[in-house]
Amino acid sequence: MTIRDDYKNKNILVLGLAVSGYSAAKVLHQLGASVIVNDYKHLKDNKEADELSSLGIKVVTGGHPLSLLDDTPDMIVKNPGIPYSNPLLVEALKRGIPIITDVEIAYTISESPIVAITGTNGKTTTTKMIESLLKADYENGHIYSVGNIGTPAASVALNSGTEDTLIMEVSSFQLMGTSEFKPKIAVITNIHSAHLDYHGSRNEYVMAKMNITKKQTKEDYLIYNHDQFELTELVTSESKATFIPFSRKKRLDKGVYLDNGTIYFNNEKVMDSASIIMPGKHNLENALAAIAVAKLYKVSNEAIEKVFSKFNGVPHRLQFVDEFNHRKFYNDSKATNSLAAINALEGFNQKVILLAGGLDRGDSFEDLIPAFRKHVKYLFTFGETAQKLSEVGAEAGVEMATAYDKLSDAVAKAYLESKEGDIVLLSPSCASWDAYSNFEARGQDFIDNVELIKKGYLKGE
What would the pLDDT profile of 237-288 be if each residue is shown by its tens digit?
Answer: 999 999 999 999 999 999 999 999 999 999 999 999 999 988 888 899 999 9
Q: 319-453: what CATH class?
A: alpha beta
Contact 411, 402 (CB under 8 A): no
CATH 3.40.50.1010 fits domain 4-100:
no
Instruction: Give first-to-last CA distance, the chain, whole Å.
Output: 62
Q: What are phi and psi of 402, to 5 degrees?
A: -125, 140
Q: Which of 42-51, 97-106, 329-338, 393-402 has the lowest mean pLDDT?
A: 42-51
Positions at the binding site? 119-125
pLDDT in tens, 152-201: 999 999 999 999 999 999 999 999 999 999 999 999 999 876 667 778 78
Least confident of 57-61, 317-321, 404-408, 436-440: 317-321
Distance (Å, whole) CA 16 – CA 31? 20
Domain 103-308 classification at class level: alpha beta
Q: Domain-by-domain residue ranges, the chain?
A: 4-100, 103-308, 319-453
Q: CA-CA distance, 287 to 304, in Å (whole number)?
A: 10
113-147 tens-digit pLDDT: 999 999 988 899 999 999 999 999 877 789 999 99
Going by the annotation, the residues of the binding site for ATP are: 119-125
Report pLDDT digits (tens) over 415-461. Answer: 999 999 999 999 999 999 999 999 999 999 999 999 999 999 875 44
AA identity, residue 198:
Y
Residue 84, number of CB atoms within 10 A of its CB: 17
